[in-house]
Structure 1
Amino acid sequence: MDFSPLTDAMASKSYDKIADICDQLMLQVAADGVAFEDEWPYAIHLLGHLYVNDINSARFLWKSIPSAIKENQPQVVAAWKIGQRLWTRDHAGVYEAIRGFEWSQEAQPLVAAFSEIYTKRMFQLLLSAYSTISIEDTALFLGMNEDDAKNYVQQQGWLEDPASRMLTVKKQPIVTEQKLDPSKLQRLTEYVFHLEH
């Protein structure tokens, strides 16, 4: 079985392509009628779906994995634990599942990249959902201890009230598009026309 497209994607850190590559390879192998269960990189495949935030596809893949694989490959179960936490929106649990397993050398960079992108997603969620939030809750959402979470958000301009241990969220400025007045466009067109002739 030729896993070179997957190997290349992992080497180039194109983690957003892993799920699609694995899906295509799995379809190709299944169409060829080749038995592949024992050597299939199920953990990487699951993590690829989680990386692109495709929890439904990860659930479908999990259900299709033979029980013998689930019993004999703890990394597959560990990858699915992350998926379960995502499914139930247990944000702190996602980080616990990531840290609670000794990932293989092959999977470790993908897991680290997922953790980083998940933290960024959680930060964006906090940014859009809150005007103030406790340091404790911020730490849970970001998977950090309270000091690291406080430092992380303060670098983004958030302010702390030490007395209440609350953070004030600094909203990002909303960029609005400037509407072009049709009369200005007409004048510009006439000016360019004049320059060319």
Structure 2
Amino acid sequence: MATDPAATLLCEFLEAAVHLLLSIRGLYSPEVFERRRYMNCLIHWARHPGLQQYIHDVVYSLHTWITQGVVDKIALVVHNKENVAVEKFIFKLQVDLSFEGEFRLNDLEPDLRAFFMKIGASRHLLLPLPPDCSWELVAYSKQMQTTESSGDLAWIPTEIGAWAHPPLITPIKSMKSQFLNVQLYVEQPKV
């Protein structure tokens, strides 16, 4: 079954995407980031070991739930200084748990690399952020499951408030493969 390698690749991809999103949205000063090559694409990656470890731990804590098909969406939510969401980068995921074929990174790498290029270009499509923003990663599940392997994960069920008005949705990129579909879009409040 290809779900475990696909989930590992997806976690690796999401970790790199979070670093890039934090950089292009200016949530940390540019000096915090260095340029790294990932999937033959230059991306910005946080230099601070604590921030690197935090992003890694949070993203990989979802691995078990991704392989179980429980995770529907993962969002990087940006909050203003009043802790009100002002932007959500949403990764909509579909992992085919029944896929029995051979998993080949070479089949997915060009599509995933295109996400990084689109994320980099998206900065010109988005509204400017207010100063002093913070961020969090939020996982949306299809259903809540507790198993021995997922019971120790650091995710807490919460109620994320909906937008007061329908948001402005900006599609960034989508991809489909035999066993993994990913869609990235941004939600922002209408001004």
TM category (shorter chain) comes to under 0.3
Greater relative CO (CA pairs within 8 A, separation 6+): 2
**Which of 1 and 2 has greater Rg?**
1
Whose strand proportion is higher, 1 or 2?
Answer: 2
Report the TM-score, using the length of structure 1 for normalisation: 0.23
